[in-house]
Structure 1
């Protein structure tokens, strides 16, 4: 009996020690957490990778088919998409309408695979998509008409700085709920030149303001010259409006800070710059600030690149894991759609991850190029990005006569695993 009692007491004492040890560990952890809270001690976790991400990619045939048209609008590039309810986060378009912005556009008729000789090119047009599905019944295309009923660009430069003969190509934009829900978008003033390969040049940057509720062709819009065009050598020329990230709570941003981030592209290296401003101050150009790699500066020319080898049009989209996806055409007119991952709207951004090769789109045409890839988050499904890129030709009109459906956006789906 005495021996058995000693064994029992020994086991009981050991379990008391084991329980006490666990209790002490829990107490220590609790005290540590309390100290962190009281003294605001931050426990640093390793940041997510900016060099790799698990994904798959496929052609988005349903979206490709939506822009194969035979009457009216049958071609265009650019293609920025603006959610008219202001929600710009992934998978939010089901109950909304989307304004699609095109730059150079083709209006005419295609019969039996041949384009009518009377087709017209204008410098910008728009489309309206109802809902999130690429249905033919849900999309309408719009342009203006002159006094003779001929197609005409919706937006034509009429600012103080504008000159006769200039035209607009369109940049990105957003619905500004701090300015009466008006639409703000960027227009690039373009002049035709005698250059052999690229016979045009940008000469100015304009904010185009469309009142809430206005309908195409938006005859009541306003135009405001901005100081956000950089003129100079090929290495120094640039402009802002290549992409817009609305990082506000009302837009559905993942980590909102109340700012709109406006991306610019500069020089032959296609360096990406970024500015930011509160939505309410969008027209107060002195309130804009420019990222110099360390801090925000008042002077545009102090902006430092956050990436290079991009394209004149691009997108930066918050991902649900806290990273930011910059989507662009590698080296402006390369065949690859590129992705860079960043830790904030200003980076740092990692190396280029090639996610798609457009070479198959270029193999059966005349001097074809692909360019200006970008994502359309509000039209995307959960855990993916719907991405478009443009197809064009250096020998444009002969190419259109041979392939009337050539000049239209192509789409892919980038799915994150």
Structure 2
């Protein structure tokens, strides 16, 4: 059907008077190919299984910070020692074996040169966590970090045991550990962070527009978590914090922090560890499916702002290692806590890690390769892809 010229002219005139900010926004990037980042997986496998003296053989959390000395990989629970020729670990020290175990560690991976494991030292000279807990029954697990000068600043969450099971633990509070150049084995300061709202802050740190945004998670039902947001001016997390509130404003009171929402207005459910990274005009939330306990699904959601609302999380990958039909044919093997590594990315892609573990501790002694991070490359495409 031929459209009269007068109507075409009218349509052009109307469009010309629509302010750019009022025009319909293009949708978020689509997802193209998702594939294992084989080179990263193999590099970590080779490092864990190398012969020689005691070093990192597996860990979880798997945050990373690009520092002047190289890529600083930030781990929570960590096995040290060596891996036997049959792929197993010796039993853990203290349980009749020789494998050291610490609640947090680093691996410093220079751009040129060999990686090295970084831990603290106990009174006898043996390995200890980089950040030691205040007592025998309390410890620190790592959260996200950022570069600070030539060093790094990393958030840690303090936990305590509540029972004998592997998941019988409870969050206690948050601290900031600051590391100077050349001394990643010892924090130069340990500063308490806001901890009054039952939120484990530091699930992710994102610097944008003169602020550092601090994402935190509040434990919800069946292993799900609710996402909250704070910010500080500049990059020093010791400065006063502001919290995103339910009425869409920033408040100096932690008690007013609100759960971030999805596009439907409901509180967004996420994994405990995650990432929120800006890509062009959009912020990518990498999380784990949270409505199924121990789901192996890595999900992606988008927002125009750091505080949401976020699109409905979409599954982009299912970890093949997990569950009775997974790589290990073991119903106790789980995948968890994915997040992004933007400093490793090429334009138009995400590099994502996730952790693999077992609910039966002996499984990761018998098969050391279970307990290592895995990596993905997610290629982004046009909206709707």
| TM-score normalised over the length of structure 1 | 0.76
Aligned partners of 1:291 and 1:304 also within 8 Å: yes
Q: Residues 2-401 of structure 1 correspond to what in structure 2 (within 5 A)?
A: 42-50=20-28, 53-68=30-45, 69-70=48-49, 71=51, 72-84=55-67, 97-113=70-86, 114-117=88-91, 118-131=98-111, 138-157=114-133, 162-176=134-148, 182-211=151-180, 213-218=181-186, 220-230=187-197, 237-247=198-208, 257-268=209-220, 269-279=224-234, 282-285=237-240, 287-292=241-246, 294-307=248-261, 308-320=268-280, 322-331=281-290, 333-362=294-323, 363=326, 364=328, 365=330, 367-396=332-361, 398-401=362-365
Aligned partners of 2:276 and 2:306 also within 8 Å: yes
Aligned partners of 2:294 and 2:334 also within 8 Å: yes
Q: Deviations over 1:265-285 (max 9, x none)?
A: 112141111111112552133
**Cα distance 1:405–1:293, how it changes in 2: closer, same or farther (>3 A)?**
farther
Aligned partners of 1:209 and 1:222 also within 8 Å: yes
Judging by fraction of residues, say which structure has more helix.
1
Aligned partners of 1:310 and 1:329 also within 8 Å: yes
For structure 1, which segment, 186-195 or 56-65, has the greater mean C-alpha deviation from structure 2 after superposition? 186-195
Distance 2:296 2:346 in 1: 25
For structure 1, which segment, 116-125 or 276-285, has the greater mean C-alpha deviation from structure 2 after superposition? 276-285
Q: 1:79 Cα shift?
A: 0.8
**Cα distance 1:344–1:283, how it changes in 2: closer, same or farther (>3 A)?**
same
SS for the counterpart of 1:63 is: helix
Distance 2:308 2:41 in 1: 32
Q: Deviations over 1:6-40 (max 9, x none)?
A: xxxxxxxxxxxxxxxxxxx9xx98xx98x99xxxx
Q: Which runs of 5+ in 2 are unaligned?
A: 1-8, 92-97, 262-267
Distance 2:355 2:219 in 1: 21
Q: Deviations over 1:341-370 (max 9, x none)?
A: 111111221001101001444422351111
Aligned partners of 1:56 and 1:414 also within 8 Å: yes
Distance 1:187 1:43 in 2: 40
Partner of 2:264: none
Aligned partners of 1:293 and 1:306 also within 8 Å: no
Where do 4+ consecutive residues of structure 1 move more than 6 Å? none
**Cα distance 1:58–1:84, how it changes in 2: closer, same or farther (>3 A)?**
same
SS for the counterpart of 1:155 is: coil
Aligned partners of 2:233 and 2:239 also within 8 Å: no
Higher Rg of the two aligned structures:
1
Distance 1:296 1:333 in 2: 34
Q: Which runs of 5+ in 1 are unaligned?
A: 1-24, 86-95, 231-236, 248-256
Aligned length: 343
Partner of 2:5: none
